[in-house]
Amino acid sequence: MGVSVRLAGEDDLGALTGLRRLWTEENEGAPIEDPAFDATFTDWWKAEQSTRTFFLVELDDVAIGMANVKRYDRMPVPGRSSGHWGYVGNVFVLPAHRNHGVGAALMHALEEWAWSAEMVHLRLAPSPLSATFYDRLGYVAGSVVELDPPRG
């Protein structure tokens, strides 16, 4: 298998945009008509460049998955280095390539990059379907709590 993982750049916007569209359509169960999506995605991508690193996984030079890490700088602490941590988001592999080690290869490359960037830890919010995948990779559920705005 010719799977490779690399950092994604501006030349990869088409692949990232296409993968995000396919992911959303998979979740919705149907194609989504949104002619402005490519421009909206590009604007978001450009706005996130200073704090987010994108990864692309390819099979024989064809994009089959993606992920990104949002960098957060920790509040300074007296007497020790504050450091920074990463929030892993938007991990996606095309359905035909799941359960073949592609997601694991993507995450291992992402982790290698994070540790070389001296991140103190990684966090993510798994979907119910992906929780066992992250368990197998050694991720442990933590004590993060959430609050959504009231509906109505």
Domain boundaries, the chain: 3-136
| pLDDT, tens digit only, all 152 positions of the chain | 589 999 999 999 999 999 999 999 999 999 999 999 999 999 999 999 999 999 999 999 999 999 999 999 999 889 887 889 999 999 999 999 999 999 999 999 999 999 999 999 999 999 888 999 999 999 998 877 777 778 87
Contact present, 84 and 121 (Cβ < 8 Å): no
Give the whole-angstrom CA distance, residue 141 versus residue 119. Answer: 19
Cβ burial 3-24 (10 Å sphere, 16+ → b, else e): bebeebeeebbebbbebbbebe
Contact present, 59 and 97 (Cβ < 8 Å): yes
**Homologous superfamily of the 3-136 domain (CATH):** Gcn5-related N-acetyltransferase (GNAT) (3.40.630.30)
Put simply, whether the predicted model's pTM sits higher than 0.75 gets the answer: yes
Give the whole-angstrom CA distance, residue 87 versus residue 65. Answer: 18
Give the whole-angstrom CA distance, residue 119 versus residue 85. Answer: 5
